[in-house]
Amino acid sequence: MTTVMCFGSFDVLHPGHLYFLKRAKSLGDRLIVVIALDSTIMEVKGNKPKYNERERVEHIRDLKIADRVMLGYEADKYEVIEEINPDIIALGYDQSGFADEIKEEMEKRKMNPKIVRLDSYKEEHYKSSKLR
């Protein structure tokens, strides 16, 4: 069984998010979605999410695409990857920050998941920063 993991804020859901989640799911048998903590969003994006982390977890669960939805960790953002040990990590076309160091961090932890950067879906229309 191939486990795929992906990450995101998933604050205001839009068709681009649905596309991303369905594409990630298509890469394997099981999809684990890790939702960014409110504190992580503040740190990375510099603003508070519209929906709190618990609400965002429920929104993703309600889509019934992911096999498991969970919150990320604050102290060590890569710990959740170690815990799940996915075969594939799916990244969005525009994800940066911790995603930029993920390959190096996986090597340090002696892990070797396949890292896949997914394409965008109508980025000119469906990008969270444009929909705020």
Would you kindly state where each structural domain of the chain is located, as residue ranges? 3-131
As a whole number, the mean pLDDT across the chain is 90
What average pLDDT score do residues 46-64 get? 97
| CA–CA gap between residue 12 and residue 19 (Å, rounded) | 14
Look at the pTM and tell me if it is higher than 0.85.
yes
Q: What is the mean pLDDT of the segment spanning 40-63?
A: 95
Residue 63: CB atoms within 10 Å: 15
What is the structure's pLDDT at 124?
Answer: 54
CATH of domain 3-131: 3.40.50.620
Q: Tens digits of per-residue pLDDT, 64-98?
A: 999 999 999 998 989 999 999 999 999 998 887 66
Instruction: Using alpha carbons, select from 37, 64, 67 the residue that is nearest to residue 51.
Output: 37
